[in-house]
Amino acid sequence: MFGLEALDLARIQFAFTVSFHIIFPALSIGMASFLAVLEGLWLKTNDSTYKDLYHFWLKIFAVFFGMGVVSGLVMAYEFGTNWSGFVDFAGAVTGPLLTYEVLTAFFIEAGFLGVMLFGWNRVGRGLHFLSTIMVAIGTLMSTFWILSSNSWMHTPAGYELIDGRVVPIHWLEVIFNPSFPFRWAHMTIAAYLSVAFLVGASAAWHLLRGNDNPAIRKMFSMAMWMALFVAPIQAFVGDAHGLNTLEHQPAKIAAIEGHWENPPGEATPLILFGLPDMEREETRFKVEIPVLGSLILTHSFTEQIPALKDFPKEDRPPAYVVFWSFRIMVALGLLMIAAGVWSLFLRWRHKLYETKAFLRLIMCMGPTGLIAILAGWFTTEVGRQPWIVYGLLRTKDGVANHSVTQLSITLVSFVVVYFAVFGIGTVYALRMIGKGPHTGEGDLTTQGGPGHDRHPKRPLSASDEGTEKAHSHDQLTGH
């Protein structure tokens, strides 16, 4: 198809399905924690604004979660269908990690999701809150295992090579491999920021249209506190992650920086913009600041960072992708920090909810968290090339042996189905956001909502009476 080889098609297919997928878990991770906080605050303060917000975002969470489940199922099988060479080589490590993700994350999410979505009137407040917390914990556990597995592919540790295949020797070293803590923290915070900006943008949209109620103000305020405190933390974590990459994957850093060679005695400049050219082995049209590269990456004025020409041609990641994807991520991160600072200033002047220019900015920044996540993942994954397991197995040796025809059929199917189904799902979610949280939203759910009390519709039976008593008992003690 289009002169592409089977390997290219397999890579495009994986990149496409995983890029689509990551958006939904990122939102689920952030929203599940957000919902746990909202329900906790409601139980603590009894302020019905939190209950309204909980029920409003719960419906949207359900849509994103559903899309995450079905697009994630594809991923769990795609490792095997498309990357059997990788599975044969590294399955002894990556397989168990995925199994633990299923056992300790997916089941917990799925097991408590039903009660979280439909059990409002079926269980007491405490049990419902517990279910929300368990779903939130499930999403974080899921991040833990899948990022451990992914990080191991970047910085393999705790293994031996026996008969040309990986055998795990020290599981703690495998799980807590050198890049894992940084990647886990970076991704989890990124998910929180994505949701903060999505929530903030939703509130800004309503405020700009003159829809103003305590719930909308509350969610806007919460989102802006997140931006203020969490965006700078993310910059700090990102910097630490970068230094870790410099230590373990220097070629990736050289490619990100578009840095080709080290003249003796010259500190590394920071290239702001330019076009890295792999054939000519230079970064063209570059705008650079002397010494700053050394300062940022080595925290010194003289030390050099590795350059692309230090690595054989066949081991260099494509700099023209990572150079730009990295800059997009960083620029969006800086914009988030700036938005947080501006929000603090406006809050101090009591103009947070009225300043049109600020509201417009925050509205436009709705998708920035997700774009930054995608840009970051492109940087780290393309930067790992040409390796699938860094330094051990090349991507071309990991691919399953499928024909171009087969891969073209499935790729086209995925593209059509994903855009249609997930596109429509996203429209539904945005439409629900557009309807906005109303005052009293949380009480509407009680009528005809999930777990709607059953007894009015059928004759009282002993067991029903029992349930009913248990309910009122819960309400007396738990509320």
Tell me the closest approach of the beta carbon of residue 107 to other proteins, in angstroms.
Answer: 5
CA 240 to chain centre: 19
Under DSSP, the state recorded for 268 is: P
Closest CA to 57 of 76, 45, 42, 44: 42
**Considering only residues 111-130, where is the footprint of other proteins by CB under 8 A?**
111-115, 117-119, 122-123
Tell me the closest approach of the beta carbon of residue 406 to other proteins, in angstroms.
Answer: 5
* E strand map for 240-296: 270-277, 282-289
Q: Nearer to other proteins by C-beta: 162 or 331?
A: 162
Are 378 and 329 in contact by the 8 Å Cβ rule? The answer is no
Measured distance CA(390)–CA(381) in Å, rounded: 11
Q: Nearer to other proteins by C-beta: 64 or 324?
A: 64
Are 270 and 289 in contact by the 8 Å Cβ rule? The answer is yes
Q: Please list the helix, strand and coil fractions of the chain in percent, rounded to the nearest 5, in that order.
A: 70, 5, 20
Tell me the closest approach of the beta carbon of residue 413 to other proteins, in angstroms.
Answer: 6
Options 458, 459, 462, 476; binder of other proteins; rule CB under 8 A: 458
Q: Nearer to other proteins by C-beta: 44 or 458?
A: 458
Measured distance CA(396)–CA(86) in Å, rounded: 10
Q: Does 402 help bind other proteins (rule: CB under 8 A)?
A: yes
Options 265, 301, 312, 457; binder of other proteins; rule CB under 8 A: 457
Tell me the closest approach of the beta carbon of residue 118 to other proteins, in angstroms.
Answer: 5
Q: Does 99 help bind other proteins (rule: CB under 8 A)?
A: yes
Q: Does 425 help bind other proteins (rule: CB under 8 A)?
A: yes
Tell me the closest approach of the beta carbon of residue 200 to other proteins, in angstroms.
Answer: 23
Q: Does 475 help bind other proteins (rule: CB under 8 A)?
A: no
- CA 108, 112, 114, 117 dihedral sign is negative
Span of 45-53, 183-191, 343-351, 410-418 interacting with other proteins by CB under 8 A: 410-418
Q: How many residues bind other proteins (CB under 8 A)?
A: 84
Q: Does 452 help bind other proteins (rule: CB under 8 A)?
A: yes
**Considering only residues 32-91, where is the footprint of other proteins by CB under 8 A?**
55, 58-59, 62-63, 66-67, 69-74, 76-77, 79-82, 84-85, 87-88, 91
Under DSSP, the state recorded for 4 is: -
Question: What are the phi and psi torsion angles at 277 (to 5°)?
Answer: -120, 110
Q: Does 334 help bind other proteins (rule: CB under 8 A)?
A: no
Q: Nearer to other proteins by C-beta: 64 or 326?
A: 64
Q: Are strands 387-389 and 282-289 parallel, antiparallel or unpaired?
A: unpaired
Q: 274: phi > 0 → left, psi -120 to 50 → alpha, else beta; which?
A: left
Q: Does 95 help bind other proteins (rule: CB under 8 A)?
A: yes
Q: Which residues contact 471 (CB under 8 A, 6 or more apart)?
A: 121, 124, 453
Under DSSP, the state recorded for 184 is: H
Q: Nearer to other proteins by C-beta: 107 or 345?
A: 107
Closest CA to 181 of 216, 207, 157: 157
Options 38, 53, 93, 201; binder of other proteins; rule CB under 8 A: 93
Options 16, 176, 225, 428; binder of other proteins; rule CB under 8 A: 428
Q: Does 392 help bind other proteins (rule: CB under 8 A)?
A: no
Options 42, 144, 358, 414; binder of other proteins; rule CB under 8 A: 414
Tell me the closest approach of the beta carbon of residue 113 to other proteins, in angstroms.
Answer: 6
Measured distance CA(319)–CA(383) in Å, rounded: 8
Measured distance CA(19)–CA(31) in Å, rounded: 19
Q: Does 275 help bind other proteins (rule: CB under 8 A)?
A: no
Rg (CA), the chain: 25
Give how far Cα 415 sits from Cα of 3, 12, 423, Å.
18, 11, 11
Are 373 and 190 in contact by the 8 Å Cβ rule? The answer is yes
Options 12, 37, 40, 100; binder of other proteins; rule CB under 8 A: 100
**Considering only residues 163-222, where is the footprint of other proteins by CB under 8 A?**
167-169, 171
Tell me the closest approach of the beta carbon of residue 374 to other proteins, in angstroms.
Answer: 20
Q: Does 381 help bind other proteins (rule: CB under 8 A)?
A: no
